[in-house]
Structure 1
Amino acid sequence: MQSITLKVEGMSCNHCVNAVEGAVKKLGATGKVDLNAGLVTVEYDESKVTVDAIKAAIEDQGYDVVS
């Protein structure tokens, strides 16, 4: 398993947390949002999902991945 922490802008409430964590989960990864810091830590199997796919799934929810 690999782990990456992404800076995500636009998250402000529990709905945002659920949207981001749910989008990551659909990819077969596990995401944990730190709302106060604006960070999402994702654990994933690099043989099944790419970082680009994770970023795209978060952005599809309406948030901006900045790193």
Structure 2
Amino acid sequence: MSTAITVTVTGMTCGGCANRVRDGIGLLSGVDGVTVDLPSGQVTVESAAAIERDAIAAAVDRAGYAVAD
């Protein structure tokens, strides 16, 4: 069974931004997939086990963006 968490990422303006966010989150241990909806800023992370929101936020920060509160 998989689990998913959706966060809103601010600052993404283009496909390159979305790719950086997708790639950065994809490096987290246990992540099975990352879907980015650029117009809304919503990023959905799928994994077999729950991924902490703080870990996702840190990966997004390393990519140069921020998770909205």
TM bin, normalised by shorter chain, reads 0.7 to 0.9
CA distance in 1 between partners of 2:36 and 2:9 (Å) = 9
How many correspondences in the alignment?
A: 66
For 1:17-36, list aligned pairs within 5 A. 17-27=18-28, 28-29=30-31, 30-36=33-39
For 1:3-14, list aligned pairs within 5 A. 3-14=4-15
The equivalent residue for 1:39 is 42
Consecutive unaligned residues in structure 1, runs of 5 or more: none
Runs of 4+ in structure 1 deviating by more than 6 angstroms, as ranges, are none
Q: CA RMSD in A?
A: 1.5
Consecutive unaligned residues in structure 2, runs of 5 or more: none
The alignment's TM-score, normalised by the length of structure 1, stands at: 0.84
AA of the residue aligned to 2:27: K
CA distance in 2 between partners of 1:45 and 1:58 (Å) = 20
Report % sequence identity: 41
